[in-house]
Amino acid sequence: MQSGTGRWQAATLTQRTATVRLHLVRHGRAAAGWTEDLDPDLDEVGRAQARAMADQLAGQGPLPVVSSPLRRARSTAAALEEVWGVQASIEPRVGEIPSPTGPEGGLAARGAWLRRVLLGRWDDPELDPRVEQWRRALLDALVGIEEETVITTHFVAINAVVGVATGDQRVTCFRPDYCSRTVVEVTGGAIRLVTLGPEAPTEVR
């Protein structure tokens, strides 16, 4: 993927000119998929992935840690909390993309919905307004961080950030592996891609 710098027009303008480095870590492997559980924890493989990620990052900290409120992200952050002796801040805006879960479809329909979204584009006029609102809130949260930070988050969230940084309107512009680390730098409203994390095939299950 071609790297670049994209500008995000945050809802609250900032006058900061300092560059802030953000480490976007995808959570480890979950114990259940999208069609099975709304909020699964990590399985044993996922916990091992989180420990390995924390060991790899250990020498770069301690750094502040921000986590999605979902269990798989919080458990991933817990590995960093243990290594660095810090407490993660829970930030709902870096959580998972919102999805329909009502009686009209249930969990099976949720999986089919996500598969369609992952093949789409952010500039599609038919995009669910809730999804665009989520993306804007996510990006606002990240450009508001004032110091180098690790964020434990999710596949689509990381793609949304990389898409802005590179000008790529695809919802899925790359496929970050579990516990992979993608690094961006934020200067004011400008988001620059530094490095993509390792990729791996991703299946909605």
**Domain extents for the chain?**
5-195
More confident residue, 106 or 90: 90
Residue 92 confidence (pLDDT) above 90? yes
Task: List, for residues 132-146, the tens digit of each pLDDT value.
Answer: 999 999 999 999 999
Can you give the pLDDT at residue 84? 98
DSSP β-ladder status, 190-195 and 181-187: antiparallel
Can you give the pLDDT at residue 13? 46
Distance CA 155, CA 176 (A): 7
Q: How confident is the model at residue 33 (pLDDT cuts 50, 70, 90)?
A: confident
Name the fold adopted by 5-195: Rossmann fold (3.40.50)
Please state the φ and ψ torsions of residue 30, each to the nearest 5 degrees: -85, 155
- Please provide the distance, in angstroms rounded to a whole number, between the alpha carbons at the two ends of the chain: 26
Q: Residue 183, class by beta-carbon neighbours within 10 Å (0-12 exposed, 13-18 middle, 19+ buried)?
A: middle
Can you give the pLDDT at residue 108? 79
Distance CA 154, CA 109 (A): 20
Residue 57 confidence (pLDDT) above 90? yes
Say if residues 134 and 97 touch (Cβ distance below 8 Å): yes
The pTM for the full model equals 0.91
Q: How many CA atoms lie within 13 A of 153 on its CB side?
A: 31
Maximum Cα–Cα distance across the chain: 48
Residue 1 confidence (pLDDT) above 50? no
Can you give the pLDDT at residue 205? 67
